[in-house]
Structure 1
Amino acid sequence: MTQDAAVSPSTPEPTRDGTRVLHGVGVGRAGVVGPVATVAAPPAAPSDEPGTAPEDVDAVQARVTEAFGAVAEGLRAQSAAASGPAVEVLAATAQMADDKALRKQTLAKIAAGEGPVTALDAVVDQFATMFEQAGGYLAERVTDLRSVRHRVVARVLGVPEPGVPALTVPSVVVAGDLAPADTAALDIAHVLAIVTELGGPTSHTAIIAGQLGIPCVVRTAGAVDLTDGTVVAVDAAAGTVEIDPAPEVAAAFALRAEGAARLAEDTSPGATADGHPVQLLANIGTPEDAERAAAQAVEGSGLFRTEVLFLEAQTAPTREDQAAVYARTLRAFEGRKVVVRTLDAGADKPLKFATQPDEENPALGVRGYRLVRTVPDVVTTQLEALGDAQRETGIAPWVMAPMIATPSEARDFAAAARAQGVEKVGVMVEVPSAALRAPAILAEVDFVSIGSNDLAQYTMATDRLRGELADLISMWQPAVLDLVAATARAGQDVGKPVGVCGESASDPVMAVVLTGLGITSLSMAASAVPAVRFAVKSHTLEQAQAVAAAALACDEAPDARAAAVAALVPGVADTLGL
């Protein structure tokens, strides 16, 4: 995922031959050429919508309630049929459609005489403002919220639900913004790429696109001006959308794809040119993900997101149900490393049985391991189930807690996990305080894993959704790299593993930098592994350290990445299409 692009210009930039180019932030490394298929604008409130007469209130309220229910049910059905991170996103959006406050306030406005769409829009605007002011993960839910609004309004008005049109030929899907629910429902056989005018590189839609291997360019000014059928060249690596490209562009993309296919032929374990091991792992969210990833050339999983098991539940899943899921996942990898992240709920992943009401800033509130303060039984039961799965399979998972901020929290989690028989206990480094106190935290646990998305967000005080701030949230920010380097040094000092499981691990150049800093494992979407394997394998450890030093010597994120690219072993950048 490339996150170093500047803020897009408001008009296409002409090239030397007069071709117009739109600039954005790229997700992935592929390039494709194809016709545009635009996503229709969401239904608007009728300009002359009449108010609801007193005698019609019950009927209108019933129609709106039915629309909310139908939207929620449809999203749950999509979630059940999805895989990977789409399961989690769709389930969370379904929960939003089920939100009692959203419905209650809408129905109240209808009872007061407002028209149904007018009422819903007023409530959605109120919630959106609240989410944006809260910032952090909750701000990311605004897109989901408006997606629910659009679907409900369509049902109320009796018009087709908005979303991606039915595609009959492979196309580049273009939208002002694309709700994660829409991204998750894409017909992959007919989607060449995704281009949006809004959004950011760590938004849910971008992450799903990366997981599915779909090239994507977000924050692309001018994208909504593209028309159906216009041929464009989407270069995710460069973060560009070229209008009416020359024939040689497609040929260059074909050569890049051939190179990627050749890289995938190497299935050796991750290591530098001089044999220094760097484990290459896959991020997963379900047992089905585990079974698919395990069939590929990965050394296990560095991040098993367990939230999917909890998101649609009205009550916490039982110990037995959880143990069965964990055992299936462990068996899928046949003894290879599996790092399980305990429940990372709260903020953008609310649970009906655990989320705290009325948190002013959920991203800084009760999320992740902090649930132990409010619903300790949920945490205890999960650890019990992980211990059961370990005993049943004879395979020891690596278990880590998210949102650890202090050594005492690490100590308490380690004690609780070990009490259930968990042999390998770690924590995530997502909060700057954890990176700064990494030596003390590593004294309490067996390993740590860096969540680069959250570490960048909290370090730079930047919303992950704010595309116009993509330069600040980049992992190439020197302040973020400094914290990664400090954590890696702490691990080297005591001989304990320090991994990275955020999306930054999928960037081959960043992978070389992380290797040079002393990171011992990299976890990413399985599709990104071949390019990362090649980049790491092309450098000795000493050469990787020189690439890392070049990046650390810079004061700005774009300069850091440019310096790292320039320091790569000759030929690597060309092979990767940089």
Structure 2
Amino acid sequence: MEQTNPARVLEGIAAGPGGAVAPVARMAAPPSLPDREPGVADTEAEKETARSALEGVAADLEARAASLDGEAAAVLNAQALMARDPELSRQIEEAISADRAAAWAVWEACGRYQDLLLAAGGYLAERAADLADIRDRAIAALLGLPMPGLPDPGHAHVLVAEDLAPADTVRLDTSRVKAIVTRLGGPTSHTVILARSLGLPAVVGCSGADELTDGTTVAVDGDAGTVEVDPAPEVAERVRARAERRRAVLAESSGPGRTRDGVPVSLLLNAGEGDPEEAAAHDSEGIGLLRTEFLFLDRADPPTVAEQTEAYTRLFRAFKDRTVTVRTLDAGSDKPLAFAATGEEDNPALGVRGFRTSRVHPDLLADQLTAIAAATRACEDTRVRVMAPMVSTAAEAGEFAALARAAGITEVGVMIEVPAAALLADRLLSHVDFVSIGTNDLAQYTMAADRTLGALPDLLDPWQPALLALIQRVGDAGRGRSVGVCGEAAADPLLALVLVGLGVTSLSTAPPALPAVRYALARHTEEECRALASVALDAPGPAREAVRRAAHPEVTDL
């Protein structure tokens, strides 16, 4: 009997739920420098050419951001800031002064800057891929080459790339792009966050993705993190049917979050820069994480109390009769602001950031709390809660609570992002009204694995039993209180069931993830969620597949 060769299956990180089957369309390789570097006849003219190229990149990014909102706009505006970074310009001009041509100087300076970002770790390391995109765009402009960008094969396709820059991710045409596969990237990369915001199936950190060629048919499973090459017809049909069933079922999923036996689980949005009315149009119970950094970026001076009050008031009014949870400024040495220097640090991820910044710049927090309180008074029909990031001790929780209540804020909470806070959550909760778990940072600090390091994705898997054990500790401490999750873990419907079983009462994520989470909750009782949590906690390692097998078939078949 003739034997058929089994399909080749590539494995990566499950980054965006859902599935798709389509031919591959690869991103073009970035521009490369010619073998021969030209001489520099006029150093000052060469510097001006480099400056113009970088400014053109920044202006293009800002123009794209102007037509977007939320995460997408924030990411592109932050990238434009990088293109205008004075230190980057200084290094480029220094290289040109040493007789490097403009394109070569950009390559050299960006490479040096990337090494510094990667060495810094934390948030700064996450921006290394963004800087590579700036480099490629500037070099294309300087050499008169086609600008790096998305392929357009003229039909539906799976986009395959080495990595995907934010500027490209936000421009994806979801009517054509059916899934994303990248060779690089980790579970908290910008590609993952933006893919989820678009509702696209995605697999990142996929070994073997670089061998996929244009036109090759692949079946992408964004839930399992697999890419099947040249799938059999029956496999392809099964994936397509599942994707269509998923779309139809989730279109009917609406309303407040509830388990099958009626236990409420608030389904909220992660939000930031963007149009408040557009955010409020999503089927959610409010905002579980309002990132306020967008008010502070791209400024030489901090926003005034009046400016902040106006911005918060507009947003709170858009969410009338719903909840808005505001995170105070999450900045510091790993998210530097021109007006909030915290000094040099060898490891910014472990330094002065989040609430700790108030030790150096107390006025920033005082002004922000004053503005939030004023906006809350102007929007009495909106339930406003305020929480501080990077709180580690009960003393810090008590200090923040006292400051917030003195400003006139009635509901006060803290983020649980470090193991110390999780281990002693009961003590923190003696000072505050609620807690919200940031699973991205909590995973990083629990597993001692840099969240930007693509080589260690298994350690950053939110299904790691050690991370879930800490979440259980917080859930137990918060029984009868509000315990939220606002990290990327909340977007996984199966993991959402486990989180509820661990004592979590609210889940906050990107809008496209909410229908699937709502659907999964509605088909499991609270007791069933606890049973699934036990399966995950007792496993020797990440137990997604074990939980999938134990969950209700209506959910696992989606």
The TM tier, using the shorter chain, reads: over 0.9
Separation of aligned partners in 1, 2:283 and 2:135:
42
- 1:58 and 2:44 aligned: yes
User: Is the Cα–Cα contact under 8 Å of residues 401 and 432 in structure 2 kept in the other structure?
Assistant: yes
- 1:435 and 2:417 aligned: no
User: Is the Cα–Cα contact under 8 Å of residues 315 and 352 in structure 1 kept in the other structure?
Assistant: yes
Selected match of 1:532 from 517, 524, 530: 517
Q: Which residue of structure 2 lines up, in the alignment, with residue 10 of structure 1? A: none
> Which amino acid letter does the alignment assign opposite residue 30 of structure 1?
G
Deviations 1:369-390 (A, max 9, x none): 2221233222222111111111
Query: Structure 1 residues 525, 31: CA separation in 2 closer, same or farther (over 3 Å shift)?
Result: same
Q: Which residue of structure 1 lines up, in the alignment, with residue 541 of structure 2? A: 556
Deviations 1:164-194 (A, max 9, x none): 2346433322111111222123333432221
Q: Which residue of structure 2 lines up, in the alignment, with residue 7 of structure 1? A: none
Q: Which residue of structure 2 lines up, in the alignment, with residue 83 of structure 1? A: 69
User: Is the Cα–Cα contact under 8 Å of residues 283 and 524 in structure 1 kept in the other structure?
Assistant: yes
Selected match of 1:305 from 291, 300, 317: 291
Separation of aligned partners in 1, 2:198 and 2:346:
34
SS at the partner of 1:241? strand
Deviations 1:114-164 (A, max 9, x none): 232333322222222222222222221110111111111112212222122
> Which amino acid letter does the alignment assign opposite residue 473 of structure 2?
A
Separation of aligned partners in 2, 1:362 and 1:58:
36
Deviations 1:397-435 (A, max 9, x none): 111111111122211211221122111111100111111
Q: Normalising to structure 2: TM-score of the pair?
A: 0.94
Aligned-pair distance for 1:454? 0.8
Separation of aligned partners in 1, 2:285 and 2:238:
32
Q: Which residue of structure 2 lines up, in the alignment, with residue 98 of structure 1? A: 84
Q: Which residue of structure 1 lines up, in the alignment, with residue 454 of structure 2? A: 467
Q: Which residue of structure 1 lines up, in the alignment, with residue 273 of structure 2? A: 286
Q: Which residue of structure 2 lines up, in the alignment, with residue 216 of structure 1? A: 202
1:140-155 paired onto structure 2 within 5 Å: 140-155=126-141
Q: Which residue of structure 1 lines up, in the alignment, with residue 497 of structure 2? A: 512
Q: Which residue of structure 1 lines up, in the alignment, with residue 22 of structure 2? A: 34
User: Is the Cα–Cα contact under 8 Å of residues 107 and 139 in structure 2 kept in the other structure?
Assistant: no
Query: Structure 1 residues 378, 169: CA separation in 2 closer, same or farther (over 3 Å shift)?
Result: farther
Q: Which residue of structure 2 lines up, in the alignment, with residue 266 of structure 1? A: 253
Separation of aligned partners in 2, 1:312 and 1:211:
24
SS at the partner of 2:35? coil
Q: Which residue of structure 2 lines up, in the alignment, with residue 331 of structure 1? A: 317
User: Is the Cα–Cα contact under 8 Å of residues 187 and 461 in structure 2 kept in the other structure?
Assistant: no
Deviations 1:77-108 (A, max 9, x none): 22222222112211221111111111111111
Query: Structure 1 residues 229, 128: CA separation in 2 closer, same or farther (over 3 Å shift)?
Result: same
Selected match of 1:22 from 10, 13, 22: 10
> Which amino acid letter does the alignment assign opposite residue 530 of structure 2?
Q
Separation of aligned partners in 2, 1:562 and 1:309:
41
Query: Structure 1 residues 471, 186: CA separation in 2 closer, same or farther (over 3 Å shift)?
Result: same
SS at the partner of 1:468? coil
Deviations 1:520-550 (A, max 9, x none): 1111122212221222222222221111112
Aligned-pair distance for 1:206? 0.9
Aligned-pair distance for 1:447? 0.4
Query: Structure 1 residues 415, 167: CA separation in 2 closer, same or farther (over 3 Å shift)?
Result: farther
Deviations 1:260-298 (A, max 9, x none): 42244132422222222211112122352x433433332
Superposed CA RMSD:
2.0
Q: Which residue of structure 2 lines up, in the alignment, with residue 137 of structure 1? A: 123
- 1:107 and 2:107 aligned: no
Separation of aligned partners in 2, 1:345 and 1:72:
23
SS at the partner of 1:397? strand
Selected match of 2:400 from 409, 413, 435: 413
Please say which of residues 130-139 and 422-431 is displaced more in the overlay. 130-139
Q: Which residue of structure 1 lines up, in the alignment, with residue 557 of structure 2? A: 575
Aligned-pair distance for 1:109? 1.5
1:182-197 paired onto structure 2 within 5 Å: 182-197=168-183
Separation of aligned partners in 2, 1:199 and 1:357:
30
Deviations 1:339-358 (A, max 9, x none): 11111224664323325454
Separation of aligned partners in 2, 1:241 and 1:107:
44
User: Is the Cα–Cα contact under 8 Å of residues 178 and 201 in structure 2 kept in the other structure?
Assistant: yes
- 1:171 and 2:154 aligned: no
Query: Structure 1 residues 181, 365: CA separation in 2 closer, same or farther (over 3 Å shift)?
Result: farther
User: Is the Cα–Cα contact under 8 Å of residues 219 and 239 in structure 2 kept in the other structure?
Assistant: no
Separation of aligned partners in 1, 2:546 and 2:236:
29
Separation of aligned partners in 2, 1:351 and 1:190:
39
User: Is the Cα–Cα contact under 8 Å of residues 260 and 522 in structure 2 kept in the other structure?
Assistant: yes
Selected match of 1:368 from 326, 335, 354: 354
> Which amino acid letter does the alignment assign opposite residue 164 of structure 1?
L
User: Is the Cα–Cα contact under 8 Å of residues 186 and 204 in structure 2 kept in the other structure?
Assistant: yes
Q: Which residue of structure 2 lines up, in the alignment, with residue 5 of structure 1? A: none
Q: Which residue of structure 2 lines up, in the alignment, with residue 181 of structure 1? A: 167
User: Is the Cα–Cα contact under 8 Å of residues 432 and 483 in structure 1 kept in the other structure?
Assistant: yes
Deviations 1:541-576 (A, max 9, x none): 22211111121112312xx3233223324x245433
Separation of aligned partners in 1, 2:430 and 2:317:
30
Separation of aligned partners in 1, 2:327 and 2:20:
35
> Which amino acid letter does the alignment assign opposite residue 526 of structure 2?
L
User: Is the Cα–Cα contact under 8 Å of residues 73 and 274 in structure 2 kept in the other structure?
Assistant: no
Query: Structure 1 residues 530, 205: CA separation in 2 closer, same or farther (over 3 Å shift)?
Result: same
Separation of aligned partners in 2, 1:165 and 1:355:
42
Aligned residue pairs, count: 554
Query: Structure 1 residues 574, 487: CA separation in 2 closer, same or farther (over 3 Å shift)?
Result: closer
Aligned-pair distance for 1:52? 2.6
> Which amino acid letter does the alignment assign opposite residue 151 of structure 2?
P
Q: Which runs of 5+ in 1 are unaligned?
A: 1-14
Q: Which residue of structure 1 lines up, in the alignment, with residue 473 of structure 2? A: 486
Query: Structure 1 residues 133, 287: CA separation in 2 closer, same or farther (over 3 Å shift)?
Result: closer
SS at the partner of 1:188? coil
Deviations 1:194-225 (A, max 9, x none): 11111112101111111111111111222223
User: Is the Cα–Cα contact under 8 Å of residues 42 and 162 in structure 1 kept in the other structure?
Assistant: yes
> Which amino acid letter does the alignment assign opposite residue 207 of structure 1?
I
SS at the partner of 2:61? helix
User: Is the Cα–Cα contact under 8 Å of residues 333 and 342 in structure 2 kept in the other structure?
Assistant: no
Separation of aligned partners in 2, 1:89 and 1:305:
12
User: Is the Cα–Cα contact under 8 Å of residues 137 and 463 in structure 1 kept in the other structure?
Assistant: no
- 1:502 and 2:487 aligned: yes
User: Is the Cα–Cα contact under 8 Å of residues 92 and 349 in structure 1 kept in the other structure?
Assistant: no
Query: Structure 1 residues 355, 16: CA separation in 2 closer, same or farther (over 3 Å shift)?
Result: farther
Query: Structure 1 residues 564, 355: CA separation in 2 closer, same or farther (over 3 Å shift)?
Result: farther
Deviations 1:215-249 (A, max 9, x none): 11111222223233333222212222223333334
Aligned-pair distance for 1:250? 4.2
Query: Structure 1 residues 319, 481: CA separation in 2 closer, same or farther (over 3 Å shift)?
Result: same
Separation of aligned partners in 2, 1:436 and 1:420:
29
User: Is the Cα–Cα contact under 8 Å of residues 497 and 521 in structure 2 kept in the other structure?
Assistant: yes
> Which amino acid letter does the alignment assign opposite residue 366 of structure 1?
V
Separation of aligned partners in 1, 2:232 and 2:311:
50
Deviations 1:466-511 (A, max 9, x none): 223111011111111111011111111xx32111111101111111
